[in-house]
Amino acid sequence: MSNLETEYHSNDFDWEELKERIEDDPTLAYHFDPFTPQSSSPSSLDSQSWNQFHARHSTGKFFKERRYLFKEFPELVSCGEYSKVLEVGCGNGSTALPILRCKENILVFACDCSTEALDRATEIIYASNVASARSRFRPFCWDFSTCRFPKWLICDSCYETSLQKPNSEGDSTDITSLKKSECCIGGMDFVTLIFTLSAVPLHRMSIAVAECFSVLKPGGLLFFRDYGLYDMTMLRFDADQRVGFREYKRSDGTRSYFFSLDIARELFLSVGFIEVELEYCCVKSVNRRKQKTMHRVWIHGKFQKPM
Ligand SMILES: C[S@@+](CC[C@H](N)C(=O)[O-])C[C@H]1O[C@@H](n2cnc3c(N)ncnc32)[C@H](O)[C@@H]1O
């Protein structure tokens, strides 16, 4: 067993006990007040905020590969050759890079609403020592909460058409340089939604999840990991940062929602997914310098598109 595996833990405390403690604390009561949403901001503003966020955090220091992915989602390792993954909201590539690294022939399509994020991810992945990362990493700019995913992710006939279209140099286009078995044959084997859905306004989440469902092959899996209700970072938001019930806006304009199991279940099952796994992941960590214990809550989900 590697060090990373021995260090991995996800059940350090009981979520119900944490809930009780937090709901009994009068200083935190404002988090549970009912909330009447005001008019929502245009989606272009959300993308702008994320662009600025990625421009500010452009150094490699901010980049951290999510190695726990394979412990939580071992299907990414056991899958067949030329499996296709869509990483939605890829940021600087913290999820895309380990997936490309773990499997020699896996293809990773990666979208983000921020062009800055895509530039960072591309730089980091191209600079990595991962074999054929350039041809297996396929970034594209997309807001999946307002636009339908491009047809070429899912449609056989779009693929056939693209085969017939040489580019200006007379070569085949990028996408046609792959064998048919490697791309566009009726959808994705996997969709990863890792700390992305929480950034989408609650009223657009259902459409966004339905889009993810639409690009999966029958039997395909969606891997979900995000902020869970009563995570330490939720409790740090001030009352004036609330923009909805369990929904907050940071001072830089980016948003964060905190999921309960019930809300996550409702979002995924209402668009047609089958629940395979759904639970809170509760991790206690200690900041030795500040002598503080931090209670982190994440939500872990695995959902399947019916056969
Ligand atoms: C916290 S980062 C997560 C990045 C990555 N999934 C990872 O594992 O590190 C969230 C990303 O979602 C992107 N994002 C936010 N809203 C989006 C939307 N509506 N469509 C596409 N990407 C979005 C942001 O630009 C940001 O890069």
Count the alpha carbons within 13 Å of 234 in the hemisphere toward its beta carbon.
28
CA distances from 283 to 20, 226, 231 (A): 17, 13, 10
For residue 6, how far is its CA from the centre of ligand 1 (angstroms)? 29
Window from 173-177, 261-265, 302-306 with minimum mean pLDDT: 173-177
> Is 90 exceeded by the pLDDT of residue 59?
no
Domains within the chain, CATH numbers bracketed: 9-24+80-304 (3.40.50.150)
pLDDT digits (tens, 9 = 90+) for 209-231: 999 999 999 999 999 999 999 99
Model confidence at 64, pLDDT cuts 50, 70, 90, reads confident
Query: Which protein residues are within 6 Å of ligand 1, measured from CB?
Result: 46, 50, 66, 89-91, 94-95, 111-114, 117, 142-145, 194-196, 199-200
Which of residues 288 and 182 earns the better pLDDT score? 288
For ligand 1, what atom is nearest to the CA of residue 91?
A: 27
The closest residue, in CA terms, to atom 20 on ligand 1 is 143
pLDDT digits (tens, 9 = 90+) for 94-107: 999 999 999 889 99
Those residues whose C-beta lies under 8 Å from the C-beta of residue 157, and which sit 6 or more positions away, are none
Share of the chain above pLDDT 90, in %: 68
pLDDT digits (tens, 9 = 90+) for 146-172: 999 998 888 655 544 544 544 444 433
Per-position DSSP letters for 150-212, written without gaps between them: PGGGT-HHHHHHHHT-B-TTSSBPGGGGS-GGGS-SSSEEEEEEES-GGGS-HHHHHHHHHHH
For residue 112, how far is its CA from the centre of ligand 1 (angstroms)? 6
Cα-based angle 207, 213, 219 (whole degrees, multiple of 5): 165
For residue 235, how far is its CA from the centre of ligand 1 (angstroms)? 22
Q: Output the pLDDT for position 288.
A: 82
Q: Output the pLDDT for position 2.
A: 42
For residue 168, how far is its CA from the centre of ligand 1 (angstroms)? 33
Instruction: Give strand pairing partners of 272.
Output: none
> Is 60 exceeded by the pLDDT of residue 283?
yes
Q: How many residues does the chain have?
A: 307
Ramachandran bin of 272, using left for φ above 0, alpha for ψ from -120 to 50, beta for the remaining angles = left
pLDDT digits (tens, 9 = 90+) for 106-147: 999 999 999 999 999 999 999 998 989 999 999 999 999 999
Contact 277, 283 (CB under 8 A): no
The closest residue, in CA terms, to atom 11 on ligand 1 is 89
Count the alpha carbons within 13 Å of 52 in the hemisphere toward its beta carbon.
10
Mean residue pLDDT of the chain comes to 86
For residue 200, how far is its CA from the centre of ligand 1 (angstroms)? 9
Phi, psi of 278 (to 5 degrees): -160, 120
> Is 50 exceeded by the pLDDT of residue 257?
yes
pLDDT digits (tens, 9 = 90+) for 1-40: 344 444 566 789 999 999 999 999 999 999 999 887 766 7
